[in-house]
Structure 1
Amino acid sequence: MLPKEYAERFFSIDDSPALRNLQARTRGIPALVDLDLRFSQMDEFGDYRQIINVAAPPLEDLGSPATNAEMARIANEGLAKLVADHPDRFAGFCAAVSLDDVDRAIEEAEYAFTELGALGVQIYCHVNGQPMDQARLDPFYEMVARSGKIIQVHPNRTSAWSDFPTETRSKFEIWWALGWEYDLSVFMARAVFSGALERWPELKFLIHHGGAMIPHFAGRVGAGWDQLGARTPEDQKEDVQGYPLTKRPLEYFKMFYCDTATFGAEEALRTSIKFFGADRVLFASDSPYDPEKGPGFIRATIQNLEDIDLTAEERSAIYSGNASRILGLDLALASGARR
């Protein structure tokens, strides 16, 4: 979603060439801002509520650290108001933060958790091209781990990340179709080898798009990374010397949570559920970024889950039970409310 005041500010930014294309893209998806349209689309699915967050781009792309912190506050208060005003439609929200200033991000996340009731926080795969395992971010991860909230991870590569070193831009939207899944997978790997899950095993990273590449390359993640360092020359050994781990790398990758937003790809979703386990998968659809600009991916994801060989208990857990348990969310509302 784009809450009203946040949307107005977002579309008013006119000094960022990098944002122009995203502004145009966002204007072409009315359900991001039009509540009546979104509600009419949701009605197709009966007892259905959403957990919402602010749409891309990352806040770090909007301006100065001070501006981005201000936009985070506008976004979070707007999301909280949407949830309060429409509890039969929105079950909660994940807060926005800008990690270009870690102290401000911690302050904003704590405010969103304690004052606004946010269920978690959304971050991206890099901050202005900087990796997400840099030590300056440790206090943020420690705070969220202590809070018990989730960290929803969204990719953010652009066409500026070329496909080959000899080129200046990525072609054919490869940066999106394939690059985003690579970025999510790199985020997971750096979180594992930097020891984030070793130091804070209670961290709940929710990885978009079914856990990206990791479930589909479980052999390389498993037996392949059991041989970490075997392929590295002696003069590059520092590149494979991460935080001391007490388990196989594969076991840490299975500690992540994932969502079901695989764009209607049933076999991919089946693999994700098998890798992480049905108890670590949460329903999500990537709505409204489908060709219908709203209901298409919701419908396709529901159909996938109905077609996959799951028990009734597993299917119910993915639809809502896991969200209730992992997010500490009471999904029971007054009579007539949507689940």
Structure 2
Amino acid sequence: MRKIDSYSHLFPPAYFERMKALAKDQGAIKRWLTVPVLYDLDARLKMMEEFPGYQQILTLSSPPIEFVAGPEDSPELARLANDGMAEIVAQHPDKFPAFVASLPMNNVEAALREMDRAIGELGARGIQIFTNVNGRPLDDPEFWPIFEKAVNEYQVPIWMHPARGANFPDYLTEKKSRFEIWWTFGWPYETSAAMTRMVFSGFFDKLPEMKLITHHMGAMIPFFDGRVGPGLDQFGSRTSDEDYEGLLARMPKRPIDYFRMFYADTALAGSKAGVACGLEFFGAEKVLFATDCPFDPEGGPAFIRSIPEAIDALDLSEADREGIYFGNALKLLKMGCDC
């Protein structure tokens, strides 16, 4: 069966070299330097030959552009990323039917211009954002024009990737996170927190056509559907210094119904239980096949094998399997069946 990997990562060569030059903290990009399939296109293509019918929608890998470069340099870095992605897609459309635009989120005016260029001129099928912009929440009003343009003007989906580093401590008495807790549990929390801020800040009321793909199957939300459902039906009962009960009364939907409006991907490192949980919460029509390639113990192919094994082990109809593997992506990206 055809498989479109809707969340795979790549560094275009020119971008990769410039990013390495700009990165002040080489330790922060240590992982990326040891995964050749991430930046070596020939190695990526050779690996993909092992999987007939397999294609990738390309997204830039973390770290976020705005983490690497200040507002003066980030627009140039975004242009390098998008030019490189567009070139790869043009050269290998059979392997990479589309790419997602990267934006310099620490320079909103430049981000809006780059969205126009990347989507309007280069043919990007969506934009990628991270769960915070150097520590600032996505519901900060300064970032609103980016969401508004993506949804209302271009009608493209938004990919959301978690962003958190070891400098975010696990306890207030410490200065850094230990044992890679910042990644194992911090990233799912980041995604869940960003989703919650969007729900209660009214993103879906203001932008009802927003299509936002949450990485790693909606993170914590499906597993905690009881807390998100009956728990948040009591929103405000635990807070005395904010009128959250009034906010809840003004919301047209239950909080859990807004959470179900997000999309999710299957990038769960091959977890059958996690995929089943996410499918039950979001519904098969809101789930896209993704692997997080090349971030697996083998540096690329492992999750391309194990994630389909997890999906195929579930009791799914053929229509649902086709939707997850390629149909939902084609519909979301408005690509038809000709790519």
CA distance in 2, matches of 1:290, 1:271: 22
* Superposed CA offset, 1:171-201 (max 9, x none): 0000000000000000100000000011101
The Cα of 1:13 is off from its aligned counterpart by: 2.2
Q: Equivalent residues in 2 for 1:14-29 (5 A)? A: 16-17=24-25, 20-29=26-35
Mind listing any 5+ residue stretches in structure 2 that lack a counterpart? Answer: 1-9
Match of 1:194 in 2: 201
Q: What's 2:172 paired with?
A: 165
Letter in 1 for 2:126: G
Of residues 14, 31, 40 in structure 2, which corresponds to 1:5? Answer: 14
> Does 1:42 find its partner at 2:48?
yes
2:6 is matched with none
Identity %: 42
User: Is contact 1:195-1:242 (8 Å) kept?
Assistant: no
1:127 equivalent in structure 2: 133
The two structures have a TM-score, normalised by structure 2, of 0.94
Task: Give the CA deviation at 1:107.
Answer: 1.2
**Shift of residue 166, structure 1, vs aligned partner:** 0.6
Aligned to 2:279: 273
Quickly say closer, same or farther: Cα 1:104–1:80, change in 2 above 3 A: same
Q: Would you say 1:206 and 2:216 are equivalent positions? A: no
> 1 or 2, which has the higher helix percentage?
1
Match of 1:86 in 2: 92
Q: What is the one-letter code of the residue matched to 1:122? A: Q
SS at match of 2:290: coil
CA contact (8 A) 2:236 2:243 kept: no
**What is the correspondence of 1:124-163 to structure 2 with a 5 Å cutoff?**
124-146=130-152, 147-163=154-170
Report the CA distance between 1:240 and its aligned residue.
6.7
- Could you list the structure 1 runs, at least 4 aligned residues long, displaced by more than 2 angstroms after superposition: 238-244, 330-333
The one of 310, 317, 328 aligned to 2:323: 317
C-alpha separation in 1, matches of 2:327 and 2:263: 14
The answer as to whether partners of 1:95 and 1:121 remain within 8 angstroms in 2 is: yes
Aligned position for 1:232: 239
CA contact (8 A) 1:162 1:169 kept: yes
Task: Please say if 1:219 is aligned against 2:226.
Answer: yes
Q: Partner residue of 2:74?
A: 68
Q: 1:184 corresponds to which residue?
A: 191
C-alpha contact (below 8 Å) 1:194/1:242 kept by paired residues? no
3-state SS in 2 of match to 1:206: strand
Aligned position for 2:110 = 104
How many residues get paired?
A: 328
TM-score in terms of structure 1 length: 0.94
- Give 1:39 shift: 1.4
3-state SS of the aligned residue for 2:57? strand
Is the alpha carbon distance of 1:93 and 1:264 closer, same or farther for their aligned partners in structure 2, counting shifts above 3 Å?
same
Segment drifting more, 174-183 vs 127-136: 127-136
Q: Match for residue 327 of structure 1?
A: 333
Partner of 1:336: none
- In structure 2, C-alpha distance between the alignment counterparts of 1:308 and 1:160, rounded to whole Å: 39
Decide whether aligned partners of structure 1 residues 240 and 100 sit closer, same or farther in structure 2, where only a CA change above 3 A counts. Answer: farther
1:262 aligns to 2:268 (yes or no): yes
Partner Cα separation in structure 1 for residue 42 and residue 69 of structure 2? 31
- Aligned 8 A contact 1:185 1:213 in 2: yes
| Partner Cα distance (2:143, 2:247) in 1 | 16
**Structure 1: gaps of 5 or more residues:** 334-339
CA distance in 2, matches of 1:79, 1:242: 42
Question: In the TM superposition, what whole-angstrom CA distance separates every residue of 1:202-241 from its partner, at most 9, and x where no partner exists?
Answer: 01110000110000000110111111101112xx125676
Q: Highest relative contact order (Cα 8 Å, sep 6+), 1 or 2?
A: 2
Does structure 1 retain, via aligned residues, the 8 Å contact 2:13–2:40? no
State the Cα distance separating 1:112 from its structure 2 match: 0.9
- One-letter identity of the residue aligned with 2:150: V
Which segment drifts farther, 239-248 or 257-266? Answer: 239-248
Amino acid at match of 1:237: E
In structure 1, what is the Cα distance between the partners aligned to 2:269 and 2:207? 32
